[in-house]
Structures are given as C-alpha cells and as structure tokens.
A and B are shown apart, each in its own frame.
Chain A
Amino acid sequence: MYDGVIQELIDQLGRLPGVGPKSAQRIAFHLIETDSEVALELADVLREAKEKVRFCITCGNVSETEQCSICLDPKRELTSICVVEDSKDINSIERTREFRGKYHVLGGAISPIIGIGPDQLRIKDLLKRLSDPEITEVILATNPNLEGEATATYLIRLLGSMEITVSKLASGLPVGGDLEYADDMTLGRAFEGRKRVN
C-alpha cells in the first residue's frame, strides 16, 4: 500500500479492463516518473474524450457530433444496414472497404447469464430504422461465439416476418492458414458455407 494520491492513482488504473494490480502499479509509476507534460497531455485527452465523445443517435456508433460521420456521409448506400455488437467492430469492417452501407450498433450481445436480454440492447432502435422502405438488406455481423450467434438467431426470428433480406457474415477458414490446423467446427462451417465457383 502506498500513501494518498499514489495509491488512489493505482486503484483507479486497476479499475480499467485488462489492467491488474501489478500493471496498474507499473503504469502509475511510469506516469509519475515521466515528464509532467506527457502525463498532463494524457489527462487533457481523457477529459476531452469524456466531454466530447457520445453515441450517434441513429446508429449508436461513437461520435463527437449528434450523428456519426458514417450516418452523415451522403455517399454511403442507404439500402443496407450492417448490425454489429460494438463500435469497435465498425472500425474492423471499415478497414476491409467491402461494405458501403450504414451500421447499427447493438451495444452488446444477448447473454442471459449476465442479465442481458433483447431489451437491454438497441434492438427497438433497429426496428424503428427498418421501417424506412428504402432499406432492403440487414447484414448480421455479430461475433461468431455463443452469445453473438444467439443474438443473430434472435434477430433472424424477429426480422423473419419483414420483407427485408437478412444475411449473416460467412465463417470459415482464415486467409493464410493451413487446412490441417483448422479446428473441426471452423472447418465444418467452411464446408457448410462453401460457394459454387463455376
């Protein structure tokens, strides 16, 4: 245990995800020992980010304005919406440059065991957006784990009665990987989702 503000700093850093007590102590001492400019810059950025960054009222993406840059971009296609669990997923999809439509961030995945059901996610907002007749396709890009797949199952059932094409991201072998090292489930999914090439 340290005295006063040092211990307070360690405790606060230790509350961050993925930062254990030892890492918190290391970061705290790094900040104390480094130039005060660096530490103060970090403090300013933290304050600015917390004050300015909010969630887009349309899609739920992080943004500094009421609507995010993707929702405001007139060049984006209005016909398709890609549904993701988290804002960070938008960044990953944008890096591929394969999708030119808009996004919808659910804010998590359905996980009853931690008390997250459909009502805790931004599913009602998605349904509101889908009342726009211009939207013809919903692409489900939830994580390929149990909670993500269950969320996709729920949405497929919910959107089944609407006249909208619902598609889901393919899952299978990673590019650059060896077939012999693929796990059974991924290889099985790759077979299920194989596509005709001639």
Chain B
Amino acid sequence: MPHYRDEAVVIRTHKLGEVDRIVTLLTKNHGQVRAVAKGVRKTSSRIGARLEPFNVVDLQLYEGRNLDTVSQVEQLANYGAVIIADYARYTAASAVVEAAERFTREDSSSQHYMLVIGALRALSLKEHASDQILDSYLLRALAISGWITNIDQCQGCASTETVSFSVHSGSVSCQSCTMPGSVRLGVDGISHISALLIGDWPSVGRANLATRASVSGVVAGYLQWQLERGLRSLEHVERS
C-alpha cells in the first residue's frame, strides 16, 4: 500500500529543513500519522495553507519507512481561520489537539477522530464557552479511552447521590463511600461532569463559575494521572 487516501485533522506541525514541514495528522482510518509535507513553507506553496493545525483535509499520502509523504491535499473544513480570531478559543483548541496527539499516540479509533472534529467545530461555532468545550472534549476522550466507566452511580454502593470524583480511578462515590484521594465536588460538581460528558449544554451553561473551576481542576488532574504528564497548553487556556 505505497499510496493511500484518508481524511484527517491536522493536529501539529514541525519545521523540517529549509522549506518542509512534518505534519502530525489524526486520520479517520489510519490513526495518528506523521508525514512530510514538502515545500509547504515557501510562499508559492499551494498546499501550505491547507496543512495548518485545526484544518480538516482529504489527503493522499505515500507510505515511507519512518515518515509518510503528503502528495495531495484538499481542504474539507477550515476551523483554524475562525478559531484564531478569538484568543481564548485558540488556547482551548491548542489544548484539544495536544490532548488528541497524546491520546492517539499508541492507538486510535475513528471515535477519537470524530471527537476532535466535533470539538474544533464547536469552538469555531462559538455557541458555548471555549473552556467548557475543552473540558467536555477531555472527559469524552478519557471515556473513549476507557478511563471513565460509570459516573451515574457510586462505585461502592451504587447510590445515585454521588459527591466525589476519584482522580485515580475516574469513578464517583457517595458521601459514605468516598475513598482517600477523591475530590469532593458535591452533587452540583458531579452533575456538571455528567452534563459535560453527555453534551447537555443547557445544564453546562447553568453551572456557576466555582463549580466549573473545580471540575476543570479535577479533569486536568485526572488527565495528568492517566497520561503520566500534564498538557503544556492547559496552563495557557483562558477560562471564563
């Protein structure tokens, strides 16, 4: 299969030599792919603008020993143009693609691909707060990876009156089953996590700033626990 075609979202770029770039792509069917895009830093390049981060492209790649080579690119969606016009959305989108790169480094599925596109699309539409879209993306990505199993019931007694979240196991517990190392978020906090996970945006919008802030902290902590290293972008994210 020297040549193959796939849809992909550009998640990262690195300079290579004088005029080339290495692009990291999250593809729909081939997982995470690193490919060389030749000559894209020249002003005369026809495909350079299409291979900027946050863009969704339909591309043809030539399989290489270490890195593939981009041979053709067509743009499917340009979320980057809208996102970079708003600094808070840019910082959130940067965290989304950094997380996507980490989540899909070893193994990926089309669910991860669709999730990233959904998050970038939501950020470009400006219908919800950018930090809430980011938290929703991170929780769903953790769930797809199997790191959040059930947050509807207490892990100990199956009670639905849950108040704390364990940043070691990604589970929730009630007042009496709360384990050491769990973070007490209260009923509102756990409901907020649930709303972010299922995309219940009216409920997300009703959460107060203190609840949002404590849930964001828990999401970041749990992400760091699972990925073994925090995301660099998170400290630059502008939160409401």
Contacts and interface: CB of A to CB of B under 8 A. Distances in A.
Nearest to A143: B41
Give the dominant DSSP class at A's interface. Answer: helix
A174 to B, nearest CB: 5
B232 A146 contact: no
A183 interface: yes
A184 B75 contact: yes
Interface in B27-59: 43-50, 52-54
Given A18-B17, A112-B237, A113-B232, A153 B90 contact: yes
B89 to A, nearest CB: 10
B236 interface: yes
Contacts of A146: 52-54, 80, 84
A146 B21 CA distance: 14
Contacts of B200: none
A149 interface: yes
Interface residues of A, number: 23
A86 to B, nearest CB: 12
Contacts of B80: 146
A173 B18 CA distance: 22
Contacts of B91: 112
Given A112-B94, A174-B44, A183-B47, A154 B52 contact: no
A157 B98 CA distance: 25
Contacts of A174: 43-44
Interface of A: 18, 110-115, 117, 145-146, 149-150, 153-154, 157, 174, 177, 181-186
Interface of B: 12, 17-18, 43-50, 52-54, 75, 78, 80-81, 84-87, 90-91, 94-95, 97-98, 232-233, 235-237
Given A113-B12, A153-B86, A184-B75, 12 more contacts: A111-B94, A113-B232, A115-B232, A117-B235, A146-B84, A150-B90, A174-B44, A183-B49, A185-B49, A185-B75, A185-B78, A185-B81
19 contacts: A111-B94, A112-B90, A112-B91, A112-B98, A113-B12, A113-B232, A115-B235, A117-B235, A146-B54, A149-B84, A153-B84, A153-B85, A153-B86, A153-B90, A181-B46, A184-B49, A184-B50, A185-B50, A185-B78
